[in-house]
Structure 1
Amino acid sequence: MTGDNDFPDKHGAISRRTFLQLSAGAGVLAALAPTALSAAPEALNMREIPASGQRIPVVGLGTARTFDVDPDHAAAMQPLEKVLQNFYNGGGRLVDSSPMYGRAETVVGRLAERLGIVDDLFMATKVWTRGEEAGIEEMETSRERMGGGHLDLIQVHNLVDLQTQLDTLKAWRDEGRVRYIGVTHYTVSGHERLAQIIEREPIDFVQFNYNIATRNAEKRLLPAAADNGVATLINEPFERGSLFGRVKGESLPKWTRELGIESWAQLFLKFIVSHPAVTCAIPATSDPEHAADNIAAANGPLPNADQRERMVSLVRSL
């Protein structure tokens, strides 16, 4: 299901299939092979990572603010374990974290280990510091916190000390220490710089804010990602929750049923992931029911261009 082919990707790296053939029996196999996503239900909408052809579900799990709890406090960990379980059971695989998110990386790692799904998850995190040595130390710490295995994706968080950290990440990718590399930001003001980085740097992922109310990314950033073969992760899909305030007390119109939409969260997410340049949206939650609802948005038909505009008009009218 990964969708890898047998040809080198744009960075000259061999595919997973070729790597496995060449590395059978080698001790580096487990460390370098990309995450297996074969456990994800076939019905889920999946998108290819352009750099490799590997396919991932269109809805992932963010951990900002929601997973920053005491990992030794059972009562705090219990609902988050159910969040991760519901996300995984629904077919979710990509989990995104960062050292900036307090204890979130450690919480993700411990819960994934407890559930026995560390090797099934697509583990994504970030580097958020200045200086080469500090960056290396932070990334090594993140790897240990998130289960001690191979990290699929490391991103330069909010472009902090961009070139220093990106140089390290390029070397790590070449050495097989990380599968993919990328950059992130969370405000519209960062979109132009992200687009410029996409156009000049051989990165695999770009993460930024985009939702039904904040569509600036459609102007230049999403097209730039598509044109340059860069996968996209979408943060702030609910505009920090403000979208739910806008639709509070409102019922979904009947026409949304043809898209399998059962909640406003699913409408917001399906709008995002129906854009052809979007690879994966990463809503964060600490509520197990919301986690199940969010990943359900990866199922069923996605809106076409006319339906997307109908969604926009609906939300604007409320």
Structure 2
Amino acid sequence: MEQRYLGRSGLRVSRTALGTMTWGRDTDADEAATQLMAFADAGGTLIDTADVYVDGESERILGGLLGEVVPRDELVIATKAVARRSEGPFGGGASRGALLNALDGSLRRIGVDHIDLWQLHAWDANVPVEESLSALDHAVTSGKVRYVGVSNYSGWQLATAVMTPSTYPLISTQVEYSLLERGIEREVAPAALHHGLGLLPWAPLGRGVLTGKYRNGTPPDSRGASAHFAGYVEQHRNERAARIVQAVATAADGLGTSALCVALAWVRDRPGVVAPVVGARDTNQLIASLEAEQLTLPPAIRAALDDVSAIELAYPERPMP
């Protein structure tokens, strides 16, 4: 698998990342082990989790697999903090105390002495950004973290964080990005490109909708049929999405590949993107995503997909005539 530098840092990661949001709920430890082995065998290195995924179980499962399935030094481990984990003054949020408490918890659950990429999971309007960044600086200085990034920041939030004085620069921002969700192209992606941050798209398959599995209904074994993910998927089931899914399917038929591969290749090679974060319930789904490594979309097909999924830009994102 191709390796790419993450932002303006010297950190190299695989151009597809393995997401673990389902680990501990839809994916048990044995299946997670099989996924991790398949991912590593394909040349994958970047694995993404968070302290709140299944109440920390995702991190625990990952920790149990390190060494036994894949050596720790062959992976780039990314996790996140900020989301509310528990009640109390240090159970969530982006205060210095809460963040450093969360970091210690992640290190304990994963069973490692450092995190390769530690990300602020969301903007916290109640905490000065200087305080949050001071926690990131301390984490790197202490040796518990190697690189830092953010997730789900708007354009102004990202620019504010980048321009706030800190010792260690942010190198990445993780955001939803797919043919169905291109909103980051208005402000977030330009800000990231300008300031040298790498984009890590989550939900690059439009929460599963771009695979085409929902074209004729809701499969009973899909996320769209589950109690905890139905609303998550439903957001991208509308008339606009149906047109885009049809265009993806047409492109896939013409290229002799899957709709999944077409959708993933499109977002993977967008400006500024370093590694889409792909989650899968089982290994077969993951292997299907890894097959996109062999696909580069022809310019004509990429242009057609750009056109059918285009979002409206207006002042000030679109310059005045």
TM-score normalised to structure 2 length: 0.72
1:229 corresponds, among 196, 200, 209, to 196
CA–CA distance in 2 between the matches of 1:69 and 1:96?
A: 16
- Which residue number in structure 2 is paired with residue 309 of structure 1? 303
Q: Is the 8 A contact 1:155 1:181 kept in 2?
A: yes
Q: Is the 8 A contact 1:127 1:165 kept in 2?
A: no
Instruction: Write the mapping of 1:244-263 to structure 2, written as runs, cut at 5 A.
Output: 244=211, 245=214, 246=242, 247=245, 250=249, 253-257=252-256, 262-263=257-258
CA distance 1:226–1:182, shift in 2 (3 Å):
same
Q: Percent of counterpart pairs with the same letter?
A: 25
CA–CA distance in 2 between the matches of 1:306 and 1:171?
A: 48
1:273 corresponds, among 268, 275, 295, to 268
CA distance 1:62–1:191, shift in 2 (3 Å):
farther
- Structure 1's unaligned 5+ residue stretches are 1-43
CA–CA distance in 2 between the matches of 1:284 and 1:301?
A: 19
- Which residue number in structure 1 is paired with residue 97 of structure 2? 133
Q: Which amino acid aligns with 1:111?
A: L
Residue 208 of structure 2 corresponds to residue 241 of structure 1: yes
Single out whichever of 246-255 and 227-236 deviates more from structure 2.
246-255
- Which residue number in structure 2 is paired with residue 82 of structure 1? 34
Cα distance per residue 1:20-61 (max 9 Å; x no partner):
xxxxxxxxxxxxxxxxxxxxxxxx232212333332111001
Once the two structures are TM-superposed, the CA of residue 200 in structure 1 deviates from its matched residue by 4.4
TM-score normalised to structure 1 length: 0.73
CA distance 1:141–1:233, shift in 2 (3 Å):
same
Instruction: Write the mapping of 1:183-222 to structure 2, written as runs, cut at 5 A.
Output: 183-185=150-152, 190-200=154-164, 202-222=169-189
Q: Which amino acid aligns with 1:52?
A: S
- Which residue number in structure 2 is paired with residue 13 of structure 1? none
Single out whichever of 112-121 and 54-63 deviates more from structure 2.
112-121
Q: Which amino acid aligns with 1:204?
A: I
CA–CA distance in 1 between the matches of 2:63 and 2:207?
A: 25
CA–CA distance in 2 between the matches of 1:271 and 1:88?
A: 23
Q: Is the 8 A contact 1:234 1:282 kept in 2?
A: yes
CA–CA distance in 2 between the matches of 1:149 and 1:256?
A: 45
CA distance 1:86–1:162, shift in 2 (3 Å):
farther
CA distance 1:301–1:286, shift in 2 (3 Å):
closer
- Which residue number in structure 1 is paired with residue 7 of structure 2? 50
Residues matched between the structures, number: 260
- Which residue number in structure 1 is paired with residue 64 of structure 2? 110
CA distance 1:250–1:233, shift in 2 (3 Å):
closer
CA RMSD of the aligned region, Å?
2.7
- Structure 2's unaligned 5+ residue stretches are 83-91, 215-241, 311-321
Classify the secondary structure of the residue corresponding to 1:113.
Answer: coil
Single out whichever of 89-98 and 219-228 deviates more from structure 2.
219-228
Residue 18 of structure 2 corresponds to residue 61 of structure 1: yes
Instruction: Write the mapping of 1:19-38 to structure 2, written as runs, cut at 5 A.
Output: none
Once the two structures are TM-superposed, the CA of residue 177 in structure 1 deviates from its matched residue by 2.8
